[in-house]
Amino acid sequence: MDQFIIGWMQCIDSSEEIIKLSYGDKKVVEGEEEEGARLQGGKFPTLTFDGNQLTIYHNGNETYSTKAYSGRPLEDGTFDYSVARQKMEKIGPIPEGTYFINGSKIQTMSTLDGLIGLAQVGGWPGGSFAWGEQRAWITPLTKINTDGRGGFSIHGGYELGSAGCIDLVGNVVPFFNNLQSTPGGNGMIMLKVRY
């Protein structure tokens, strides 16, 4: 792979748009997400999702963690995070890999958005029942085989489970409040999904 300009890491989001992330003054090679995390040098928080918890880390220390789920629950109420299930559109969990969110682009639902969403239209179809009060879009940081799936976000809602997003149910507002109060929480934030 080509090396990128010192101080920048290039990645491609699902729409093939080039996004640049500042990672200090070191060279980073595409796909070296472990090195990229190390080079952040504590400037930015990182997130991990393991199928049970979404956790915020800063300077290598856990600062906040909350229950989280991805995909639709099975009939017995449990969740299946198998590779086969990760490939199932609108049912399976977000595929394992390294992603990022933009902390400065966390969206908060307005009252009007919520009302329009109740009619299953607008930018928040299903309203707060489906999304909770806030969300942040998730973009792959490295090439991840999502089997054509996309449009993932971190959000809340009243019903347990999602079409592949990371669902915080009723904990979305406290989660984003904690994230944005963490130094660097309004920047580009790495998210690692490992089950």
Give domain limits for the chain: 44-193
pLDDT at 143: 73
Residue-by-residue DSSP string for 96-121: SEEEEEEGGG-EE--HHHHHHHTTT-
> Which DSSP state fits 19?
E
* Residues 142, 30: Cα–Cα separation, whole Å: 7
Range 133-149 average pLDDT: 86
Summarised one tens digit per residue, pLDDT across range 9-65 is 333 333 333 334 433 333 333 444 444 444 455 678 999 999 999 999 999 899 999
pLDDT at 24: 38
DSSP per position, 173-192: HHHHHHHHHSTTTTSEEEEE
| Segment 152-172, tens digit of pLDDT | 999 999 999 999 999 999 999
Q: What is the mean pLDDT of the chain?
A: 82
**Which letter, b or e, does each residue of 129-146 get, where b requires 16 or more Cβ atoms within 10 Å of its Cβ?**
ebbbbbbbbbbbbeebeb
Residue 79 structure tokens: 């969740």
pLDDT in tens, 49-64: 999 999 999 998 999 9
Yes or no: is domain 44-193 CATH 2.40.440.10? Answer: yes
